Chain A
Amino acid sequence: MEMERKESRALAYAVLLAAAVFPLLSGEYTTRVAIGALKYVVLAISFDILARTGNLSVGHAALFGIGAYAAALSNVYLGIPMEAGPLVGGLSVLPLAVALGFLTLRMRGAYFSIATLAFAEAMRVLFLYARDITFGAMGVGVPPIFGGDVIADYYVILGLVVTSVLLVILLERTGINYAFSAIRENEDAASVLGVNPTKYKVMAFALSALLAGAAGGFDAGYTTYVYPYEAFSVAISVAAMIMPIFGGLYTVEGPILGAVVIYLAEEVLRGWLPFGYTLIYGLALIVSILYLPRGIVGLLRGKKGKGWLQSLGLGEE
């Protein structure tokens, strides 16, 4: 056990070191691919945090899109620099997320998922409609973050990834994660045992939104444009949902692995299947549910740890 812990810690430091020197050793194209992958790592972790309370969001693009718009519009109207985008994006989604947390508190299972899907679509319609403020379908143009320096952009998103990972580790170390799991497994029982579901569900929603909004705020300055059809696109919600499921939910490394593997597969597939490369998402999700209930992480960990699977409601093995 102690040995294993040391090994995995050494592995984590090695990955971090490799990630830190990566842009210095690679070209612009590969750095851009890495930035894309890391952006989705943040979204995948964000999804996973919320999923730990048993709620599957099918509308994560709403949080991402509002973060992107908050960063872009505060630049246009208030002159706040895009370098502050991740902070502006994350913080401005926060109050909304707390409100949404309370609003969706009593919804369970499919109803929660339907509500999040509908919320993201409603946001797209709203941001298209309020064109006097949001510039409608034309979108908002902003100056590039750090003058478009790709290496600086890379370190910003890497910083967000590290923050997200530390947040998850903190959740696991402080025992908040136990409260999340208890609510996921049986909310009524958890509440009888003294776990306050309201508090923890709203907390999960807020933390999840903070990360998704920050990713959106970064993306606005990185791509220098925010369009309603892209910021609130189902494609983002789909990626945020499938990557952590494929990688392995409720683990630190699962969402990271899932995001990187699927993003790279998508990059390759896009080359020879310009239409329909999204097939990879559908297949990854179907395979995960039918054959890999614990994702890639479950595959890597092998049979060990069998037993908690059923208790997570992830089907039988």
Chain B
Amino acid sequence: MQSELVLQVVVNGILLGGFYALVTLGLNLIFGVMDVTNFAHGDLIMLAAYFSYWAAELFGIDPVTFIPVNAALMFLVGLAFYRAALKPILRAPAYNQIALTFGFSIFLQSLALILWTSDMRQIEVPYASRVLQLGPVSVGLGKLIAFVIATGFTLGFLVFLGRTKLGGAMRSVSQDPMAASLMGIDVDRIYLLTSGIASLLAGVAGSLVTLNLYINPFIGGELTLKAFGVVILGGMGSYLGMIVASMVLGLAEAFVGAFVPQGGSLAPGIAFAVIVAVLALRPKGLFGR
């Protein structure tokens, strides 16, 4: 009985971890390539979640079907975000980066409040609440779909980064923008596309949020902090570290939620505690440069 419960909790943790990896991916990418810490990352996911909500409410489009459109929309948002929020602070002191991206975080949040108020919103997705019984383990279909799509995009992105010409250009810019520019790579264009792709990935994550959770304009802050927790645990800019750390966070939340009394209210705090504890011991993250 106990071992079955543990197995169930492990499965829940892994499903959650796969989603966290995708949530973190865009933040990690912008940090890796541009060396900018984007405090507005979660708010881009929030914005995409509302696009998904609008598509469902106004046109009756299913959130999963809407993913390609949402990704394309958010790619464009990412291009604009680069011009407005990232370009002015490239290679600026940390102070400017923190303050400007944080300013855009509040801006996006306020915009969402004006457009959609602070009410909790949810899309009715009948199949998402179905539960599959896989041997001793039961899995919500919505969570399973979110995990599969998130993992697909995460791995797909890593293949893109490793195997394509554009991915290679992004890697060389992340290592040494000056050298990359001397090799004939248009660094500004790579930065622009990086921001677009990071936002595209946030768009997919935003669609998946609406599949399983209520949304309001404030969800971005918590998502940003969870993504920070993952990159601080896994190492800023490291993708393997990011996947491992996402799993650790997902599993830790699932275990605390299941086995600690009143753990459900404590679980969201794990990422915050991890951040404070890791940074206190290793001020630049566990594998910081």
Chain A residues with CB under 8 Å of chain B are 54, 56, 58, 103-104, 106-111, 113-115, 117-119, 121-122, 125-126, 128-129, 234, 238, 241-242, 245, 273, 275-279, 281-286, 288-290, 313-315
Contacts and interface: CB of A to CB of B under 8 A. Distances in A.
A282 B273 contact: no
Interface stretch (B172-180, B185-193, B225-233): B225-233
A275 B118 CA distance: 7
Interface string B102-144: 1111111111111001100000000000000000000000000
Contacts of A286: 100, 103-104, 107
A245 B276 contact: no
B271 A288 contact: no
A151 to B, nearest CB: 34
B164 interface: no
Given A58-B102, A276-B110, A289-B96, A114 B269 contact: no
B76 interface: no
A279 B107 contact: yes
A183 to B, nearest CB: 14
The 8 A-B residue pairs whose C-beta atoms are closest, nearest first, are A109-B94, A285-B103, A282-B107, A125-B269, A276-B114, A282-B106, A276-B113, A118-B275
B93 interface: yes
Given A118-B273, A125-B265, 19 more contacts: A56-B94, A107-B283, A108-B94, A108-B283, A110-B98, A113-B94, A114-B225, A118-B229, A121-B222, A234-B221, A238-B106, A242-B106, A276-B114, A277-B110, A282-B109, A285-B100, A289-B89, A289-B100, A315-B92
Contacts of A58: 39, 98, 102
B114 A273 contact: yes
Given A285-B100, A289-B100, A119 B268 contact: no
Contacts of B284: 107, 111
Interface in B196-244: 218, 221-222, 225, 228-229, 232
Contacts of B225: 114, 117-118, 121
A104 B106 contact: no
Contacts of B100: 285-286, 289-290
A313 to B, nearest CB: 4
A289 B107 contact: no
A128 B265 contact: yes
Contacts of A104: 279-280
B88 interface: yes
Among B39, B102, B229: residue with most chain A CB under 10 A = B102
A170 B118 CA distance: 44
Contact of A129 (B103, B105, B229, B262): B262
A313 B37 contact: no
Nearest to B89: A289
Nearest to B275: A118
B59 interface: no
A290 B114 contact: no
Contacts of B222: 121
A115 B272 CA distance: 8
B202 to A, nearest CB: 18
Contacts of A284: 103
Contacts of A275: 113-114, 117-118
Interface in B23-72: 37, 39
Contacts of A238: 102, 106
